[in-house]
Structure formats: structure tokens, C-alpha cells
């Protein structure tokens, strides 16, 4: 099946789930710089997938997927920090890391497919 809309991309769907999860966990945080950074990174994951999908070539799309992977890793790093700072509990950390890992695997597969 050929993907004709970015909304059909599983990585984009999962990245949207990640952003919602992050917003729900940190919405009431008073740690404004931390909250702003993790919000921006989480939104960037899906936005770069969407933006790259609309680019003119597979190489441009792959470049955007690499940027998305970077933002996904930034979210992972911030989740570890959030748990160490007691902003989230161990379960929230595991849930977030699981989703980030899943997104990363999907993005890797997509990038590899575009390179062929």
C-alpha cells in the first residue's frame, strides 16, 4: 500500500501519541523551561515527519526523518531527567521510553526503505 497522506504514517501517529502523553504528564509543571523544551521536542517528532512527507524527494524526506529521530531521542533523554528530578514516576518513564523506542524503530525502518 502506497502512503498518500502523512496522517497514514504509523510513526506520525505514534509521535502524536507521544506528544499527547508528554503534554498530559507535564502540563501543570511549574518548571517552565523544562516543560517548554520537552513540549517542543515532542511536537517536533511528528511535525518533522509531516513536513518531510511533503518534500520533493526521498532524500529530503529521509533527512526530515533523521531530524525526527533526533527529537525523539531528545524526548527520551528528558524523560530520564524528569524521572531523576522526580517530575514523573518509574511507570511514566517506562511508558514514555517504550513509545520513544517504538517510534525510533519505525523511523529506522522507514529511513532504510527510503534509501533503497
> CA 41: distance to chain centroid?
7
Give the pLDDT score at 17: 98
pTM of the entire predicted model: 0.93
Cell readout for 111 is: 529511513
- Grid cell 533523554 is found at 77
Q: 3-class secondary structure for 83-107? A: HHCCCCCHHHHHHHHHHHHHHHHHH
Q: Considering only CA atoms, which of 58, 60, 36, 48 is closest in space to residue 11?
A: 48
The answer to whether the beta carbons of residues 6 and 50 sit under 8 Å apart is yes
Q: Which domains does the chain have, with CATH numbers?
A: 33-115 (1.20.1440.60)
Q: Please, what is the angle between helix 32-53 and helix 58-84, to 10°?
A: 160
Q: What is the DSSP letter of 57?
A: S
Average pLDDT, 10 consecutive residues per value, the chain (116 residues): 87 98 96 96 98 91 96 98 97 98 97 88
Give the pLDDT score at 64: 96
Amino acid at each position: 500500500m502506497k502512503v498518500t497522506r502523512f496522517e497514514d504514517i504509523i510513526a506520525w501517529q505514534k509521535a502524536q501519541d507521544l506528544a499527547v502523553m508528554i503534554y498530559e504528564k507535564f502540563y501543570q509543571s511549574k518548571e517552565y523551561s523544562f516543560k517548554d523544551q520537552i513540549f517542543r521536542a515532542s511536537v517536533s517528532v511528528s511535525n518533522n515527519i509531516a513536513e518531510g512527507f511533503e518534500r520533493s524527494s526521498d532524500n529530503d524526506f529521509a533527512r526530515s526523518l533523521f531530524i525526527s529521530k533526533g527529537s525523539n531521542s531528545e524526548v527520551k533523554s528528558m524523560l530520564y531527567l524528569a524521572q531523576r528530578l522526580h517530575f514523573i514516576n518509574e511507570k511514566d518513564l517506562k511508558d514514555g521510553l517504550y513509545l520513544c523506542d517504538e517510534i525510533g524503530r519505525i523511523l529506522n525502518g522507514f529511513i532504510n526503505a527510503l534509501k533503497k
